[in-house]
């Protein structure tokens, strides 16, 4: 079983990569729509994987 820390770190890494991909598009002169679409698709997949990791994090609520 993956620990919460590992899941969080993995999600953070994926989000960092996705952010870098999106920033690369915004800062570049990519004019080919297909290249932009493929690159954004890669970023979206990373965001989805990060979301999956976050969803697996176990939140323990202490008894009140």
pTM of the predicted model, to two decimals?
A: 0.70
- Quote the pLDDT of residue 48: 92
Q: Which domain holds residue 48?
A: 4-56
Cα separation, 52 vs 40, whole angstroms: 18
* 32 within some domain: yes
CA dihedral 14, 43, 19, 50 (to 10 degrees): -30
What is the rounded average pLDDT of the residues 31-45? 84
* 62 within some domain: no
Q: Is the pLDDT confidence value at 29 over 80?
A: no
- Quote the pLDDT of residue 57: 85
* 14 within some domain: yes
* 25 within some domain: yes
* 61 within some domain: no
* 64 within some domain: no
If one counts the domains in the chain, the total is 1
* 22 within some domain: yes
């Amino acid at each position: 079983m993956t620990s919460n820390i590992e899941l969080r770190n993995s999600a953070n890494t994926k989000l960092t990569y996705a952010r870098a991909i999106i920033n690369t598009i915004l800062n570049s002169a990519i004019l080919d729509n297909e290249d932009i679409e493929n690159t954004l698709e890669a970023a979206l997949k990373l965001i989805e994987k990060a979301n999956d990791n976050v969803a697996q994090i176990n939140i323990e609520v202490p008894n009140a």
